[in-house]
Amino acid sequence: MDTPPNQFNLIEEFEMDYYKSAGVEPIGNDQRTHYSNQVTKDIIGKDIVLIGWTHILRDKGKIKFLILRDEHGTVQIAIPQAKVPEDVFETSAQLKPETAIAVHGKVVATNQLPSGAEVLPTKIRILNTAERLPIDIVEGKVDIELDTRLNYRVLDLRKPSINAIFRIQHNLVRFAREYLEKNDFVEIHTPKIVAAATEGGANLFEVQYFEKKAYLAQSPQFYKQLMLLAGFGRVFEIAPVFRAEKHNTRRHVNEYTSFDFEMAWISGVEDVMRMEERMLNHSFKKTKEVAASELELLGIDLVVPKVPFKRIKYVEAIDLLNNAGKDLKINDDLDPESEQILGQIFPEKFGTDMVFITHYPLELRPAYTMPSMTDEGMTESFDLTYKGMEITTGSQRIHLYDLLVERFKAKGFNPEDFTFYLDPFKYGAPPHGGLGLGVERLTMQILGIDNIREATLLPRDRDRLTP
Ligand code: AMO
């Protein structure tokens, strides 16, 4: 970790009254010099300033141990009455869990901690007081019900092991984006208030848009395609999408982060899968490196999937499932139970838990999906399954106007309702394809999280609109 960023001293005289009436100190007098994870044997004897929260306070009478938590972990502050100024000892007695504090002190050696170092304070300043917490956020305390935790999500996220989930998620997205940028993709931002469904009408949220009816976008599907027709060779978008799923399940939320990319001039759907497997390989590899401490905290040994990922056809997946006791016919959806069974079969049979399932039936795929030239009744499409769950859907798209209109009609849509999307295909649309990856699903599968809400910063489900 780099050295902490400097704060600016912006405390004006007139602001002081606010601090005085709250009984706390302005932060401007405390320039943080180190993060908790930088307090090691290497800096013994140094005078430092730490800023953070009172995580744990152990009162042993003549000595108190304060565990200070900041953005990068925890550090022990030893407060022996005989060795610290009197006011420091007195202030430490006022500390409650989650009091915001600045600690000035000297780094000293200790053989009781793996870091080999702790801090002997010369000054403790209270930056803000904390009321009694409604939930426990110290590791190892009794598990609190998820719903209660989500009610207090802001405090819940202070718990290091919960916070770590989203630092890992940040890195997964960051390095996937990095890979696309290196490969000439342009980041775009498309409307989320839209006039038509892209993935079928079943789970659309309606919006009153002045005098008209509009919808919340289920996917940037049409717009990311149109931007290729607009002359961008490759585009991506990482943004919220909305699905009015009526039932609460462990793998659905009503708003999630969709990681979409779309690429022009492909020779087939294989190009899209190749881009995805390389992007994920890069993202996993870099995340394993950069988020090593967060992964360790969660006890996760992140296995970087080898390129190329295994590919099997939909019909082969159906066979595997039927051999395992299911009774599926062609055109049946691979339901969550089927995905889970495949999640057990794949590692045994193919030695991997990252598998592309390709060539889904026309009936199961949206109207914009390219029919297969090799497999009758099937499409040039795929899902990526990871540890027994679909995390990505993708395909080659139809770029030929007449075929596109025909497929829209075949799905029961009136092409007139989609002219804004269909018309541009009359003017030399490039062959193209792309995919949508669920960021929360990717995170939950990597971290072995059972419920998608835990991998969603502020989840929206059938019953939850706050915080
Ligand atoms: P699809 O509808 O399969 O495809 O969605 C793509 C991926 O998004 C994730 N996902 C969800 N995550 C959380 N909660 C939900 N309710 C939810 N629904 C879907 C899954 C899924 O694989 N336009 C196409 C993509 C494309 O072809 O480019 C689409 O949206 O990880």
The 10s digit of each residue's pLDDT in 237-282 is 999 999 999 989 999 999 999 999 999 999 999 999 999 999 999 9
* Residue 113 maps to a domain: yes
Residue nearest to atom 10 of ligand 1 (CA): 438
Percentage, residues of the chain above pLDDT 70: 97
The predicted pLDDT at position 142 comes to 73
C-beta separation of 152 from 134 below 8 A: yes
Q: Residue 135's pLDDT is what?
A: 94
| CA 127/CA 124 separation, integer angstroms | 10
Mean pLDDT to the nearest integer, 393-422: 97
* pLDDT band at residue 395 under the 50/70/90 scheme: very high
Asked if residue 267 and residue 192 are part of one domain, the reply reads yes
**84-93, 136-145, 285-294: which has the minimum mean pLDDT?**
136-145
Element (H, E) at 312: strand 310-313
What's the CA gap between 259 and 173, in Å, rounded? 8
Ligand 1: nearest atom to the Cα of 390: 22
pLDDT at 1: 57
Distance 438 CA to ligand 1 centre (A): 6
Instruction: Let me know whether 119 and 159 are in one domain.
Output: no
**Does 58 share its domain with 161?**
no
Q: State whether 187 and 55 are in the same domain.
A: no
What local confidence, expressed as pLDDT, does residue 357 receive? 98
How high is the pLDDT of residue 15? Answer: 67
The answer to whether position 83 is within a domain reads yes
Q: Is the pLDDT at 457 greater than 70, yes or no?
A: yes
- List the residue whose alpha carbon is closest to atom 9 of ligand 1: 438
pLDDT value at residue 431: 98
Ligand 1 pocket: which of 246, 339, 441, 456 to mutate (most atoms <8 Å of CB)?
A: 441
Mean pLDDT of 70-92: 97
390 lines ligand 1 (CB under 6 A): yes
Which residues does 77 contact at the CB level (< 8 Å), separation at least 6?
Answer: 50, 65, 66, 67, 68, 103, 105, 118, 119, 120, 121, 124
Look at 87-101, 132-146, 247-261, 416-430 and tell me which has the smallest mean pLDDT: 132-146
Beta-bridge mates of residue 421: none
Q: Express each pLDDT in 89-108 by its tens digit.
A: 999 999 999 999 999 999 99
Look at the chain and report how many structural domains it folds into: 2
Cβ contact 298:169 at 8 Å: no
At 23-41, the pLDDT tens digits run: 888 877 788 999 999 999 9
- For residues 206 and 195, give the distance between their C-alpha atoms in angstroms, rounded to a whole number: 10
Confidence of residue 200 (pLDDT cuts 50, 70, 90): confident
What is the average per-residue pLDDT within 448-452?
98
CB 461 less than 6 A from any atom of ligand 1: no
In this prediction, residue 14 carries a pLDDT of: 58
Indicate whether 139 belongs to any domain: no
Residue 257 CA, ligand 1 centroid: distance in Å: 9
Which structural domain range is residue 124 located in?
12-16+25-128
Asked if 63 and 169 sit in the same domain, the reply is no
**Residues 103, 217 within the same domain:** no
**CA neighbor of 379 nearest in space, from 346, 401, 352, 403:** 403
Average the pLDDT over 315-326 and give the result: 98
* 6-15, 122-131, 353-362, 436-445: range with lowest mean pLDDT: 6-15
Pair 187, 286 in one domain: yes
Atom 29 of ligand 1, residue of closest alpha carbon? 436
* Average of per-residue pLDDT across 273-301: 98
Higher pLDDT, 364 or 16: 364
Q: Cα–Cα distances in Å, from 16 out to 21, 26, 27, 125?
A: 9, 8, 11, 15
User: What burial class does residue 61 get, using C-beta atoms within 10 Å of its C-beta: 0-12 exposed, 13-18 middle, 19+ buried?
Assistant: exposed
With a 6 Å cutoff on the Cβ, whether 394 touches ligand 1 is yes
Cβ–Cβ under 8 Å, residues 285 and 304: yes
Query: For 171, how many CA atoms within 13 A lie in the half-sphere containing its CB?
Result: 20
Average pLDDT over residues 298-318: 98
Same domain, 287 and 184: yes
Q: Is the pLDDT of residue 8 over 60?
A: no
Instruction: Return the beta strands (E) in 16-150 as ranges.
Output: 47-59, 63-70, 73-80, 100-109, 117-128
* pLDDT at residue number 211: 97
Q: What is the mean pLDDT of residues 175-183?
A: 98
Mean per-residue pLDDT, 188-208: 92
pLDDT, residue 230, reads 98
Residues 272 and 327 in one domain: yes
Say yes or no to pLDDT of 70 above 70.
yes
Q: Which residue from 413, 411, 375 is spatially nearest to 396, judged by alpha carbons? A: 375
pLDDT the model gives residue 5: 75
Model confidence at 143: pLDDT above 90: no
Residue 11 has pLDDT above 70, yes or no: no
- Domain shared by 112 and 160, yes or no: no
Q: What distance in angstroms lies between residue 368's CA and the mean position of ligand 1's atoms?
A: 15
For residue 232, what is the domain's CATH number? 3.30.930.10
Query: 141 lies in a domain?
Result: no
- CATH number, domain containing residue 106: 2.40.50.140
Q: For ligand 1, atom 3, name the residue with the nearest CA.
A: 393
Q: What is the mean pLDDT of residues 202-216?
A: 96
CA-nearest residue for atom 8, ligand 1, is 438
